[in-house]
A = this chain, B = another copy of it.
Amino acid sequence: MTATPQAKRPGRPRGTSDTRNRILANARELFARNGIDKTSIRAIAAASGVDSALVHHYFGTKQQLFAAAIKLPIDPMSILIPLRDTPVEGLGHVLPAILLPLWDSEMGAGLIATIRSLLSGSDVSLIRSFLEEIITAEVAPRVDNPPGSGRLRVQFVASQLVGVVIARYIIGIEPFASLSPDRIAETIAPNLQRYLTGELPAV
């Protein structure tokens, strides 16, 4: 994509903010109703009265548009794609070691506000789609042993990570909430690894 004159002015959004906001609102509504996989950029563009190319131009990939629609401060694939180089036997440690510091970073406050808002409202399906269609879909094929168990393995991992985030950043139980992210990651890593590659009941 070639640079537009607007792209030369840092901090200036490309496109009118009305159009961008209309796209984001339609994206959020369609993602919440139909999930990520079943929502096309084309459908979001049509609902917004613009061309698909403009949506891509403003927001990039569908995952990036999803992230923008739920106000995630980061493209999830920018974290997940490098994980493809981590051996499966190391994921239990690397996953929390990468994810937990994000919550302690500057972007953490925004993440927490997003989660609280989604958990309480009718759009909780946006978190469900994110966990099922982005996280599970990305990691499950790598831990699908025996075949068919991968999705559940990843979702047990998700249950522990979601619990850490809620207990630490939303509920704030002490002394748990004051531990360093490293200490939490080290402590939960063997448990996550068991979910990913250990023997589980009826799996």
Taken residue by residue from 132 to 174, chain A's Cβ proximity to chain B (1 for < 8 Å, 0 otherwise) reads as 1000100000000000000110011011111110111011111
Q: This chain: how many copies in the complex?
A: 2
- Chain B residues lying within 8 Å of A161, measured Cβ to Cβ, are 163
Contact assessment for B190 and A119 in the assembled complex, using a CB-CB cutoff below 8 Å: no
Contact assessment for A128 and B172 in the assembled complex, using a CB-CB cutoff below 8 Å: yes
- Chain B residues lying within 8 Å of A201, measured Cβ to Cβ, are 183, 186-187
In the bound complex, CA of A136 to CA of B151 (Å): 32
Most B CB within 10 A of own CB, among A161, A167, A190, A201: A167
Residue of B nearest to A161 (CB): B163
Contact assessment for B158 and A173 in the assembled complex, using a CB-CB cutoff below 8 Å: yes
The secondary structure that dominates the A interface is: helix
Contact assessment for B187 and A167 in the assembled complex, using a CB-CB cutoff below 8 Å: no
Number of residues of chain A lying within 8 A (CB) of chain B? 44
Most B CB within 10 A of own CB, among A116, A161, A163, A201: A163
Choose one: B127, B151, B167; the contact of A171 (CB below 8 Å): B127
In the bound complex, CA of A200 to CA of B17 (Å): 50
In the assembled complex, the CB of A104 is this many whole angstroms from the nearest CB of chain B, namely 16
- Chain B residues lying within 8 Å of A170, measured Cβ to Cβ, are 119, 124
In the bound complex, CA of A171 to CA of B201 (Å): 23
In the assembled complex, the CB of A19 is this many whole angstroms from the nearest CB of chain B, namely 31
Taken residue by residue from 15 to 56, chain A's Cβ proximity to chain B (1 for < 8 Å, 0 otherwise) reads as 000000000000000000000000000000000000000000
In the bound complex, CA of A194 to CA of B202 (Å): 20
Starting from the known contacts A155-B173, A156-B176, A163-B166, 11 additional A-B residue pairs (CB-CB under 8 Å) come to A124-B170, A128-B171, A131-B173, A158-B163, A159-B188, A160-B160, A160-B191, A162-B163, A163-B167, A183-B202, A190-B194
